Structure 1
Amino acid sequence: NTTKISADDLTTITFTFLPVEANTKKLDLKISDVKFTKSAVENQTVGKIEQFQNKFMAYPNPSKGNVNVLLFSKVDAKATVSLFDVTGKEIYNAPVQLTTGKNEIDFNVKVKPGILFLKVNSKQTNYGTSKIFFR
C-alpha cells in the first residue's frame, strides 16, 4: 500500500547503525509502523514563518549537481540565483520570479567537486549566501 504525502517543510532524520555482534560488519535496521505528526502551536505560526522570510535553505548538501532552494519572500520580486567559486568567479546564474510567501527553486549544474557559494538576490533584497558542497 503506497500513500503519497505532501511535505511542506524539510526534515532530516538520522539513523546510527551499530554492529549486531562484536567484530562483525553486519548491520540490521527494521522500521515499521512509523507515524510522523506535526502541529503548529496556537498563535505562534506567524512568528515562525517570519523567522524564515527573506532567507533561504538549500538542499541536498552535499550535492551531485541538483540543488533545491526553499525561500520565503516578503514580496513578489525578480531575483537572481548565482553560484560562485572560492575565488569569487561566477559559475552559474539564472533569473527567477519570486512570489510573496513560499518559493521552491530547483536547478541542476555540472560542476567539479568542491565548495561553491549560492546567492539569491533581488533589487530589493539580499536573501543571503549558502555554502554548497558538490561531489
Structure 2
Amino acid sequence: MTNQYAKVEPIINDDDQLEDVHLDVLGVKLDLPNLNSADLPIDLVNVILLIKSQPVLSDEQTALAMSAFLAYFQQLRPDYWNALRKTGHAMAWLTATVRTWAEQSGLDPKAFTSVPSTPTTGKR
C-alpha cells in the first residue's frame, strides 16, 4: 500500500499587506513587521496568536510574550538587543517598545504589556 500525499497550497493575498512599523528606540531605528500582517515572522506567530486569543493576559502569559519578543530581538535585531543590555531599565524599554509596536500595528497593547509594579518575590 502506497501513501497518498495531499499537496498543500496556501492562499496568499498580497493585497492585504500592512505597512511595516518604524520605531526609534534607544537610538536604534527599528523597521518591524506589522503585528497584524499575514506576513508575520514565524518567530512571533505563537505569541501573537496567544495575544489575539485573550482579552487580558495573565502574569505568566505576559512573561511568556515578553520572552518571545526578547528572543526575537536577540536573534533578528542584535543592535537593539545590545542597546537593551546597556540600559539600566531593560524591561521598561522592552515593554515600551512592544507596547508601541502593538499600538502602531493596530493591536490592543493593554492585553500583554503591563509590568508588575511590585516585586514578585518577598523578603526571606
TM-score (norm 2): 0.24
Larger Rg: 1
Greater helix content: 2
Greater strand content: 1
